[in-house]
Each structure stands twice: as C-alpha cells, then as structure tokens.
Amino acid sequence: MKQVRFVRIQHKIMVICITVIILPVLVMTINSYYSSERLLTQNYTNVLNDLSKQTNIRIDEFLKEIEKITLLASNGLSNDLSATPEGSFPIQDFLRNSDEQREIAAYNILMNYIMMKDRVFSIYLYNLNGGQDLFVSPHQPIDPNYKVANELWFKRFLHRNDRTITLTTRIDEQLQNKILAVSHARKIHDVSTGKLLGVIVVSIDIKFIEIVNRNLQEGLRSRFMIVDEDDKIVYNVDERLIGTLFRGNVRPPEATNVVVTSPLSQQKWTSYLYMPLDELTADGKILGRNLVTLAVVMFLFAVVLSVFLSHVITTPIKRLLRNISLVEKGQFEQVEHIRSRDEIGHLSVRFNKMSHELKRMVERMQQEEMEKAQAEMRALHHQINPHFLYNTLGSVKWIASMQQADKIVEMTDALISMLRYATRSDNSLVTIREELDNIKNYVTIQNVRYYGCIQMNYEIEDRLMDYRMPKMILQPIVENAIFHGLAEREDDGVITIRIQMKGSDITIEVCDNGVGMEEHMIQSFMTEKLRASDGTKGIGVHNVQRRIQLHFGKSYGIQVESAVGEGTIFTILLPAISDDDYI
C-alpha cells in the first residue's frame, strides 16, 4: 500500500496565504520589469545608433583629409608663400630636381598644410625620378634606414594601373616608434609628359579615432571598433586585436549585448558599437529592486499572517501529537492536559483517559514478564546442576570400585570446584576465564572416565579472557561433544574451543572430531528430545539456547554444523561485554 505523504496544516495555511497575496504581486513585478527592460533596450539602441553615425562622420572626415592632401600634392599645391619660379607644382618640381630650394619649398608647403589642419599626419614623398625622398612628420621621428621599395605593397602598387591605394591599419615602418597607422598612397605623374615622378603617402596614427571618440563615455570607447570588408579588425582599443578576425575574437554576442553597426562612406569598413544588457538595464534594475522589495514585504506579511493563523489552529493539535508520541515511547507521566474549548480539547480528554488505562496495562504486563523470566531462569539453573551431579557421582562410584585412590582425589577436587562454581549465585555473568576453568575441571573428570582419550585445544586471545558471558554455557556443549561425538570413536578425540571477536560481538566455537550428526539428530538437540544413553533426559542444547536468548534476545544463541564422520561445530554468538561495560 502506498504511503500518503503527511502535510502539516500550518504549511497548507502558509501556501494559501502566499499564493493569494504573492502570486498577483509576482506577476505584476515580472511584467513591469521586463517591459521597462525592453523600453530601455530600445532607447539605448537608438542612442548608440546616433553616436555610431556621428563617430563615422568624423572618421570619414579624417580619411577625406588624407585623400585631399595626396590629391592636391599631385595636381598642384601652391600659394604666395610656397610658389616657385618654375610654376604652380612645387611637389612635381621637387621630384624633377631635388635641389635644396625646391626641397625647402615642398617641405614648407606640406608642413604648413598639416599644421593648419591641426592633425597628426605624417607625409612621405618617395622620388622615383632619381632624386632624394622627402619626409614630413612633426610629431614622430623618421627611420632613415627604412626602404619602402622593398615592401610588397609598394611593388604591387607601382605595377598596377591604380592611381591611389588605401592601406588598412598596419605598422608604419617609416617611423622609428613603429606606430599603427592608416595610410593613403597616390602616384604623382608629370602634368606635361605623364611620366611617373614619385609616390606620396599620407599616414595617420590610428589613435586619431580616440580623438574622434573623445565625446563618448569611457565605457563606450572600449566597445567601439572598426572592421574591414575581410572581417579583420581595423581599430580596437586593445591594439593586440588589430589585424585579427573580428568574428573569432571579440564579436559580442547579441543575446547579451545591444549591438549597432554603421558603414563608413570613405572605405568599405563597418563600425561596431555595443553595450552589455546588464549595464543597459541598470536603471531597470533599480525598478526591479523596488518591485522585489515590495514582493518581499508582501511575502513577509503573508508569512506572519499564516504563522499567526496556524498558531491559533495547530497549537492544540501539536500538543496532542506530542502526547501521542510520549505514549508511544512509554513516557506516560509526561502527558499534559490540553486546555481547549473545542473538538480538539474534547479529543484530548478522551485520549488522556485511554493513556492512563494503557499505562496500567503495560505495567501489569511488564511485571508478569519479569516474574516469568525469573521463574524460567531458576528452573533452567536447577535443571542443569542436578543432572551433572548424578553423572559425576556415578563416575566416582565406578572409580572407587577400581581402587584407584589417586584418581579419586583428582576427580573429587575437580568435582568440588565445579559444584562450588555451579552453586555460586553472586552474579549471573562470569568471565570467560572462569567458564574455561570450569570446563577444564569437567574435562579432568571425563578423562578419568575415558582413560585420558579426550584432548582439549584452546585458541583464545588473552584480551578476551576478561569479557563476560552467562555461567554454565560451555559445559553442556562440551558434554554433548563427548557423549554423542567422541564416545563412539576408537581413537583419541580432540575438542577445540575457539573464541574471537566478530564486530561488536564474540563468537565461541566448540569443535570436535567425533562421528558427527545427521540433520534430524541436530534438531533433536535443539528441541531437547534426545535421551542420554542411560535413559535419563539429557541436559540439552535447547536449554542453553533459551538461557542465552533470555539474557540477550533472539539475535543471539547457538548454531550447529555437522556432517557424519567429520565432526561437529557448535557456534555460540554473544554480545561483547567487557568489565567496564558490566560495571
């Protein structure tokens, strides 16, 4: 039958109160929280889109400046301060003839343009007409040992028909500091002959984007990046990520972030700006905390209300259950009277009357059981002693007839010790050492009768000798081993007593090498049906079994193993009782 799970009335009341009060509040809290979260996400998405577009516009302006410089340098860049006698193309004039005057003019023009725009540019003019190169870098030192002609991109650019090329973020090797930069290169042809005179390269430090992002919050600056058409990172605050794949490194998951993208007009680049949802919903979390606080307050109110109601209703029931538990444990004196003017109070009065009647009945049964056990112990004790006395006196008579005075003295001493041990009534439990001494006296008497044919072996640990056991337990077992096991053997018989610990118990094995027994004979021993050879009723293993179980319970006692022709083993299981436990 399936057991029904017990549910307290107090718990039922709490569940009802919490359900009625908390459930509507919980639904409203969750709905309000997620509604505000969606609204905040939408608003922040719009803000990030606007910021991203404005940033892209300024970046495009920088890239246009780079292209404008190269275009003006190629097609003509002159004014009153920089015009040369040769004409309006000072850059081309310098590439045709790199004398000092033309170099100064070209340098001043380029430097003047950079300073007017207040940009951190570097301009490199590579002469392909046999003259010297020109480098303009107001903020970074030039590396004179760098040869652009060895660069692969430069070689490819010269062999292609393209007039311009934009190099994505890379290390600017022309500078000693080896900064990361974006470069724009343009071929310069002679306006008259079309001959390729040189290449102008305008390089801008990639950190110009940080200047563009000055208006952004610090947290947003670290989350702004630019990716080219090959999904490689052009710009990131962490310079170690520049040039790596965007998808495989820092692409933010859209499930946990608000991500906006915006293309740049000057290059095939795309800017990414994102913000984690947990930061976006910081304001929403304030509302969420307020709603949670309200829900907690309502929950506490429901708990207090349910506890108060349950206390009024269940306190008498709990007292009644406690009284029932005390009665189950037999603690009738601690049962208290329940003062309640309702059905529970009436039930308590009837239960108290029943418990009083049950107490008297239990006390009467316990007294009867105690008297019965004492009577059985006395009967068993008196049954064992006279039987052995009769057999011993018969042996003494038989020895006397043989006129062996020394043997009579030996048997008489052993008999006196055994009678003194058997009739001692100071304690029902004796030490294993005392019980074994009694066995030795008994075997001494029997060896006289059987001409010393009985050999005893003892396998016992010294530490077990002072443990306690019931008196006169081993003697009936050894007697049965001699009379029913060894008496029919023609040669010497051996009885081994082996005592050892088994967990918290002690096992005593009495083994003989006698003729053994069949199963029905073992049952006769255990049920006290076997008769001694002289016609008197045997002491019986059954009596020993009863004594052990009266002392210690049904889990202890004797087990018998035997096979015809192989001997018999009596195993006695007793609790391990030391002197300290016994005291």
Residue with tokens 């029904």: 4
Dihedral sign computed on CA atoms, order 325, 328, 329, 335: positive
Long-range contacts of residues 218-226, Cβ cutoff 8 Å, at least 24 apart: 219/275, 219/279, 220/48, 220/51, 220/273, 220/275, 223/252, 223/273, 223/274, 223/275, 224/52, 224/55, 224/271, 224/272, 224/273, 225/250, 225/271, 225/272, 226/59, 226/264, 226/269, 226/270, 226/271, 226/272
For the stretch 355-406, pLDDT in tens is: 777 777 877 787 777 766 665 666 555 555 555 665 665 566 566 555 555 6
Written as tens digits, the pLDDT of the chain (583 aa) is 455 566 666 677 777 777 777 777 777 777 777 777 777 777 777 878 888 888 888 888 878 888 887 887 777 655 444 444 455 678 888 888 888 888 888 888 888 777 765 556 788 889 888 888 888 887 788 888 888 888 888 989 889 888 888 888 888 888 888 888 888 898 888 888 888 888 999 888 888 887 777 767 666 777 788 888 888 888 887 878 888 888 766 777 777 778 888 888 878 888 888 877 777 666 666 766 777 787 778 777 777 777 777 777 777 777 777 777 777 766 666 667 767 666 666 777 777 777 777 777 877 787 777 766 665 666 555 555 555 665 665 566 566 555 555 667 677 777 777 777 776 665 668 899 999 999 998 888 888 778 888 899 999 988 999 999 988 889 889 988 888 778 777 677 899 999 999 999 999 999 998 888 888 887 776 776 544 444 334 456 778 888 888 888 889 999 999 888 888 999 999 999 887 777 6
pLDDT above 90 as % of the chain: 10
pLDDT of residue 1: 45
Residues 6+ apart with CB under 8 A from 343: none
| Helix H or strand E encompassing 171 | strand 164-171
Give the distance, in angstroms, between the CA of residue 4 and the centroid of all CA atoms in the same chain.
32
Torsion angle, CA of 24/29/31/32, rounded to 10 degrees? 130
